[in-house]
Amino acid sequence: MELKGKTKDSANNTTFAILLALSFIHMSNDTLQSLIPSVYPLVKNSLHLNFSQIGLITLVFQLSSSLLQPLIGWYTDKRPQPYSLPLGMCSTMVGISLLALSNSFGMVLVAVFFTGIGSSILHPEASRLAYMASGGRTGLAQSIFQVGGNFGSSLGPLLAALIIAPYGQFHIIRFTVLAFLTILVMLRVSRWYKRNLYRLKPREQSVVTEVSQPRLSKRKITVTFCILLILIFSKYFYMASITNYYTFYLIHKFHVSIQQSQFFLFAYLFAVAAGTFLGGPIGDKIGRKYVIWFSILGVAPFSLMMPHLDLFWTCVFSILIGLILASAFSAILVYAQELVPGKVGMIAGLFFGFAFGVAGIGSALLGRLADNIGIEYLYFICSFLPLIGLVAGFLPNIRKKRE
């Protein structure tokens, strides 16, 4: 893949080689991260953990990958750091290695902490790179970047079913090879980043001139951000219930094996990856508000019915939920970046960080609830979360002009 390009190219050209490289990087990062929830059934049995401890593992991982993101985005908006991506992946590689060797609850917490640090660096920086390489097609660029991550998240359960479940936790160490290969790709992308920093200023200016609706007041922007964060809460709290506890739900209710449950989780996460690509381009054409509205509220009929279905229809409905729900984040992120031009990294860090933080806190709370009320009743309660998507009706319309 040729990543060099010409430094005198117009900032309005979409650089697909870079976008595809970023998609691969995101895929690798999220594949490695998705190994964490994928091995929960194994470590729960081997270390004799309860659901509250499983939730705490997710909380530590998500907090380490969320709290630093807005700060990193804010700092690198002012002082871009082209070689921060490979440094972040080095932290992830350390975390994955420690996870393979973990023989205690405390060591698992340390492992997921290092893995999360890598993610906190990657998301704001790679999101800025996608913005730089978009050539004005920000929704499409963000979708290409996001689809790699969600596809990687879907691979974790599949790889866990094929490699880790049959052979044991130590074989997580094999995935350090993927981390090393990703570092090599990151080094090439970082060199392009360094040569093309001039793209940042023209892109920021172009966003200001492209927004066609009247400038929103600071109060309106603040209210809009609050609505977007409420929607992120609804989406990621509900997704935490599936990503972290879906396998336990299937094992408990339908008596499937650990390996079979991983295949069902893969089907859901693969649907999330497929749905991710749709949100950005559709939002570029019809407006992001409508994509956000449909992708969150549209899940409600399926989520409300899923706790009452048999195994086959539970799998089918989980796939439909993944397809519909996944399109929201790309649309929400680009919508927010258009509200506050010139703060690409900070906005990306804020929204990625908030999403991961909500997922972590949600997982911890859901684990405690599962211990107290049971995994099946937990899913019944969570099925109402997508109804929060009704607040999307209060978002102002933002449409962009094309040259």
Instruction: Residue 29: name the closest of 185, 196, 164 by CA.
Output: 185
Instruction: Residue 191: name the closest of 71, 66, 83 by CA.
Output: 83
User: CB neighbours of 266 closer than 8 A, spacing ≥ 6?
Assistant: 154, 155, 157, 158, 161
Q: What beta strand segments (E) does 242-375 contain?
A: none
Rounded Cα–Cα distance for residues 147 and 329 (Å): 11
Instruction: pLDDT band for 5, please (50, 70, 90 cuts).
Output: very low
Rounded Cα–Cα distance for residues 403 and 397 (Å): 20
Q: Which of 4-18, 73-87, 133-147, 338-352 has the lowest mean pLDDT?
A: 4-18
The tokens for 27 are 């895929």
Determine contact, residues 55/366, Cβ cutoff 8 Å: yes
Determine contact, residues 128/151, Cβ cutoff 8 Å: no
Residue-wise pLDDT tens digits, 144-170: 887 788 788 778 778 877 888 788 788
3-state secondary structure of 211: strand
Instruction: pLDDT band for 284, please (50, 70, 90 cuts).
Output: low
Determine contact, residues 33/159, Cβ cutoff 8 Å: no
With a cut of 80, say whether residue 329 has pLDDT above it: no
Rounded Cα–Cα distance for residues 310 and 312 (Å): 6
Report CA dihedral (61, 67, 73, 76) to the nearest 10 degrees.
Answer: -90
User: CB neighbours of 204 closer than 8 A, spacing ≥ 6?
Assistant: 341, 342, 344
Q: What domains can you pick out in the chain, each with its CATH number?
A: 16-210+217-394 (1.20.1250.20)
Residue 43: other Cβ atoms inside 10 A: 20
Q: Which of 140-149, 200-209, 268-277, 356-365 has the lowest mean pLDDT?
A: 200-209
Determine contact, residues 229/125, Cβ cutoff 8 Å: no
Please, where are the H alpha helices in 134-217?
138-159, 165-167, 176-195, 200-210
Rounded Cα–Cα distance for residues 121 and 83 (Å): 11
Burial 350-387 (b: 16+ CB within 10 A, else e): bbbbbbbbbbbbbbbebbbbbbeeebeebbeebbebbe
Which residue bears the tokens 């010409």?
6
Provide the pLDDT for residue 399. 57
Burial 167-197 (b: 16+ CB within 10 A, else e): eebeebeebbebbeebbebbebbbebbeebe
> Any idea what DSSP says for residue 243?
H
Residue type, 25: I
Cα distance from N-terminal residue to C-terminal residue, the chain: 30
Provide the pLDDT for residue 133. 84
Provide the pLDDT for residue 184. 95
Residue-wise pLDDT tens digits, 166-207: 887 888 899 999 999 999 999 999 999 888 877 665 444 444
Which residue bears the tokens 């933002």?
398
- Which has the higher per-residue pLDDT, 200 or 65? 65
Burial 335-344 (b: 16+ CB within 10 A, else e): bbbbbebebb
Residue 235: other Cβ atoms inside 10 A: 26
For the chain, give the longest Cα–Cα distance.
61
The tokens for 148 are 């790699």
Determine contact, residues 273/329, Cβ cutoff 8 Å: no
With a cut of 80, say whether residue 283 has pLDDT above it: no
